[in-house]
Structure 1
Amino acid sequence: MDRPSPRTAASRSDSSGRRRVSRTLAILCTLAVAAGPAAPLAHADNLHDKKKKVQASIKSVSNDFDDASTALVKATHRLDAARASLAVAQQQLAATQGELTAAQVLDAQMQAKLAAAEAALAQAEQDVTNGEAAVKQQRADIGRLAAADFQYGDPSLMGLSVMLNSQNPEDLTTQMNTVDNLMSRESNMLDRLKATQALLVVQKEKVAKAKADVAEQRRLAAANLVRRQQLEQQAAANQAAVAQQVAARAQAAAAARQIRRHDLLVLQQLKKREARIQKAILAKAAHDKGGYAGDTGGFLYRPVPGAVTSPFGWRRHPIYGYWGLHDGVDFSAPCGEPMHAGASGTVISEYYSSVWGNRLYLDAGRVNGKSMVLIYNHASAYKAHTGDQVGRGDVVAYAGTTGWSTGCHLHFTVMLDGTAVDPMQFF
């Protein structure tokens, strides 16, 4: 877990924690001399060598959420889920509206085609009506001509009679022209009748095709209408879903803001508590004498063997938004992993914090003239207690996920004269 900066972090602890820290402060203020200067050991403590090393699959701790309360982490996840659901709902609505627009355009096109097909059918039916009337008229004309032929004789026979009975060549020519005209008129009438009947057949075929076109256009238009109505219903449902997701997102955001405000209040309270503890540490350090002087590389014993999951340094908190110092190093460590004393010294405080969980302060004495205090956070249990003298590498507590933590790990802090520094420089 990330430890909040003194500038930006504060915490509220329970009543039991307050009683214990009060007792701790009394002890700190009455300590006149340190239990003794800390010095690096030449070799690992035999006790440490006998300890069983825990080998387990370690789940990485989320650096973004380590220093946030469980409630806010859950609220943030709910807000993220609500945002994702809203994005999906909006995409579905956009897709449906696009399909609906296409269906509406297609519907307009189909209505135009249907109107054209119906107009073509109406024209074709009118042409058939006109053709039938023309055939009827031409048949009537031919009927009258046939009746006249029956009454007056066939023109071809009339021509033969004229030739046989004519006495005057001029009369013969005139009479023969008349006969030819009659025969030509009769032939033309028959030809027109045949042509009109043939055209009528074509017109009736056009009518049949036009009727088929109209039926097909009506079928397509009806199918598209059903599709359009379905899309309209789907668009309405999607709009309702978007509205619901908007409301869900707003509720999740409001819940997250409320929890965030509460958490920041807790952090502010923790800041006051930390200030009191640091003041007591500095008061004690003023009386310390001696200590270690020299190269500090390798001075500290590594508290757990796990990898670093979050380094020391300044950064902006992804949930709370403040710019603060991650004042320690997060080490991956399974729950129950023994946590070792980085240096010989005295346990000067152990208490529970709603933010840090079970924490332990180990006074390592003076190092190059500055008071060094080691802080272990999120412990599942303690092995050493206030006032205990421990050696470098001794087990002081066990890793856990108490307080604001999303997984088992150790947040390890090194303070020199009350100021957090990067622990990695001492390994």
Structure 2
Amino acid sequence: MAVLVALAPAAGSADDLDDRRRAAQQRADAAQRRAEDLQASIEGLSADLAQAVSDLAATEARLPAAQQELRTAQDELAGAERRAELVQARLVDATDQRDSISADLTENAARDQDVRDSIGQLARQAYQGGGDMSAIAVVLDAQSVDDFNRRYQAAATAQRAQRELVQELADLAGDARNAQTRLTAVTDRIGELKAEAEAEVVRADQARAAAATREQEIEDLIADQRSTQQRLAGMKNQAEAERAQVESDRAAVEQELAGIIAEQQRAAAAKPAPAAPGAQQPAAPPPPSNGAGAIFANPTSINPMYVTSSYGMRLHPILGYTRLHAGIDLRTYCNTPLYAPRDATVQWAQRRGTFGNQVMLNYGTVNGQPMMSSSNHLTSFAVSTGQQVRRGDLIGYSGNTGLSGACHLHFEVYVNGSTVDPAPLLGR
């Protein structure tokens, strides 16, 4: 019953610990999602702004995990201290038992010696009295009936005392053996408890050190978080200037594409009418496909391609407004090859402000609408304006030029001059 009572609070503590761990994990997961969203939002930021945002995201993602690790270390420390107290109590009990058994053995030895002395005394008395305590000797030596009774009673008393002393001596020997066995067991248990106590002290010291390390880390993380937030607050003017430049560059590209589309449409309208029915027309090759509905091949050297940030609205991590992430980010590394995803004409291969080094590919009319794509932030070009390329031809190498936080491919698709989500066209 004592064991069951002792274990009952531990079970409740374990449930509480599990709940706290689950809650902490949920907080850590939420922080990680926020960090990923922040990381996706750094497209269009300069390297120093992007680094500050990434630093803040990393700090905020790590903080919940460090706090949970601190709680775990504190729980382990408390558990080790409770176990150490329990072991110490058991050690005190075992030591008291050992001392009590040792005292019993000492008392037993003293009594053993007293009994042996008494037996010796009886033997000496019998010897001095003639040595014959038998019934015949009592009868023959008696001078009268009273003398006989006296002698008989004395002989019976001496024999009974001798028998009792011999039995007590045997009992004392048995008790001594039992006590010695118990003493050996208790002594061994004391050794085990001392080792267990030392192990709990080591565990407590380790948990205490881990808790101190996590406490220091949390203090450093909070300080870093405040410092980075202050640094980002001081960079708002820079972020606003960059935002304006991004919008200006995008407007310029879209205006230029609109002019190109208009020129293509004028050229198409000036072409001769199509051949009469029955005339032989060259068969158009089917579009490349790497997935359901895909018309583009993988433009990167990473296979399978990996999307690190999708098309859609993003919260600006510094200015706090939503903006369109007008393409998708594909994983590449610095100076890795980039390819034409479809047969095209190179509309241009040049530096385009915040886009960095950009290759714009013109696919003409696809499914009845003008279609183009841009590969941005390249380190260098492998094609030039006006060049014809086939699907899979090398067009350049990935990089981090323009407003970009790290080497990657920012891939955009324009249909009728406006951006669309490239993912379905890539089979994603």
Which TM-score tier does this pair reach, normalised by the shorter chain? 0.5 to 0.7
CA displacement, residues 178-232 of structure 1 (integer Å, 9 cap, x when unaligned): 3322221121122123223323333444554455445434433433343333233
1:97-112 matched pairs, under 5 angstroms: 98-99=79-80, 101-112=82-93
In the alignment, which residue of structure 2 is the partner of 1:29? Answer: none
Kept in 1, the 8 Å contact 2:345–2:389? The answer is: yes
Kindly indicate whether the alpha-carbon contact (under 8 Å) linking 2:313 and 2:325 is maintained by their aligned counterparts in 1: no
Structure 2: state its 5+ residue gaps.
1-36, 275-283, 289-294
**Residues 100, 210 of structure 1: CA spacing in aligned structure 2 closer, same or farther, 3 A cutoff?**
same
Give the structure 2 partner of residue 228 of structure 1.
Answer: 200
Q: Which residue type is aligned with residue 89 of structure 2?
A: A
Residue 194 in structure 1 maps to residue 166 in structure 2 = yes
Q: Give the CA deviation at 1:377.
A: 0.6
Q: How far apart are the structure 2 equivalents of 1:235 and 1:396? A: 56
Q: Does 1:216 align with 2:188?
A: yes
SS at match of 2:374: strand
Structure 2 CA distance for partners of 1:234 and 1:13, relative to 1, 3 Å: closer
Larger Cα Rg: Structure 1 or Structure 2? 1
Counterpart Cα distance in 2 of 1:310 and 1:152: 116
Partner residue, 1:414: 414
Stretches of structure 1 that go unaligned for 5 or more consecutive residues are 15-67, 166-170
Q: Deviations over 1:368-422 (max 9, x none)?
A: 997755422122224677xx55556598951312243655546243253444354
Contact 1:291 1:365 in 2 (8 A): no
Counterpart position of 1:25: none
Contact in 1 for aligned 2:45/2:405 (Cα 8 Å): no
Contact (CA 8 Å) 1:100, 1:228: kept in 2 or not? yes
Aligned to 1:33: none
Counterpart-to-counterpart distance in 2, 1:215 and 1:348: 87
1:20-419 to 2 correspondences below 5 Å: 69=50, 72=53, 98-99=79-80, 101-136=82-117, 139-140=120-121, 149=129, 156-162=136-142, 172=145, 174-206=146-178, 208-209=180-181, 211-213=183-185, 215-250=187-222, 253=225, 265=239, 268-274=243-249, 276-277=251-252, 280-281=255-256, 284=259, 288=263, 290=266, 298=287, 304=299, 308-310=305-307, 314=311, 326-328=325-327, 335-337=336-338, 339=340, 343-344=344-345, 346-347=347-348, 350-353=351-354, 356-361=355-360, 374-382=373-381, 389-391=386-388, 393=390, 397-403=395-401, 404=404, 406-407=406-407, 409=409, 411-419=411-419
Offset of residue 154 of structure 1: 8.7
Distance 2:138 2:363 in 1: 150
Structure 1 distance, partners of 2:300, 2:86, is: 68
1:160 maps to amino acid: L
Amino acid at match of 2:358: R
After TM superposition, the structure 1 stretch with the greater mean CA deviation from structure 2, 261-270 or 121-130, is: 261-270
- 1:315 deviates by 5.6
Distance 1:391-1:114 versus aligned 2 partners, 3 A rule: same
Q: What's the CA shift string for 1:44-64, capped at 9, x where partnerless?
A: xxxxxxxxxxxxxxxxxxxxx
Q: 1:291 to 1:344 in 2, by over 3 A?
A: farther
- Which digits, 9 at most, give the CA deviation of each residue in 1:219-250, with x for residues without a partner? 33433343333233222222222223324544
- CA distance, structure 1, for counterparts of residue 315 and residue 163 of structure 2: 96
Count, aligned residues: 355
Identical counterparts, % of pairs: 12
- Aligned AA (2:207): A
Kept in 1: contact 2:414–2:420 (CA 8 A):
yes
CA contact (8 A) 1:414 1:420 kept: yes
* Closer, same or farther: CA 201–368 of 1 in aligned 2, 3 Å: closer
- 8 Å Cα contact 1:314/1:326 also seen in 2: yes
Distance 1:390 1:190 in 2: 128
Q: Using the alignment, how far apart are the partners of 1:250 and 1:92 within structure 2?
A: 19
Checking the alignment, whether the CA contact within 8 Å between 2:126 and 2:132 is kept in structure 1 is: no
Cα distance between partner residues in 1 of 2:412 and 2:43: 18
Q: Deviations over 1:282-321 (max 9, x none)?
A: 87479655355999x9599869486653399646869959
Shift of 1:251: 5.3
- Conserved in 2, the CA contact under 8 Å of 1:332 and 1:408? yes
Task: Answer yes or no: is the 8 Å Cα contact 1:10–1:271 preserved in 2.
Answer: no
- Is this contact kept in 2: 1:317–1:323, CA < 8 A? yes
Q: By percentage of residues, which structure has more helix? A: 2
TM-score (norm. length: structure 1): 0.59
Residue pair 1:347, 1:362 contacting (<8 A) in 2 also: yes
The residue identity in structure 1 corresponding to 2:192 is: L
CA distance in 2, matches of 1:312, 1:231: 45
Deviation larger for 185-194 or 78-87 = 78-87
* 1:339 and 1:397 in contact (8 A); partners too: yes
Residues in 2 aligned to 1:231 and 1:379: alpha-carbon distance in whole angstroms: 54
Whose RCO is larger (CA < 8 A, sep 6+)? 1
Please give the per-residue CA displacement for 1:80-118, whole angstroms capped at 9, x wherever unaligned.
678767766765665565455434423322322222232
Does structure 1 retain, via aligned residues, the 8 Å contact 2:66–2:218? Answer: no
Instruction: Return the letter of the residue paired with 1:350.
Output: R
> What is the rounded CA distance, in whole Å, between the counterparts of 1:305 and 1:75 in structure 2?
30
CA contact (8 A) 1:361 1:374 kept: yes
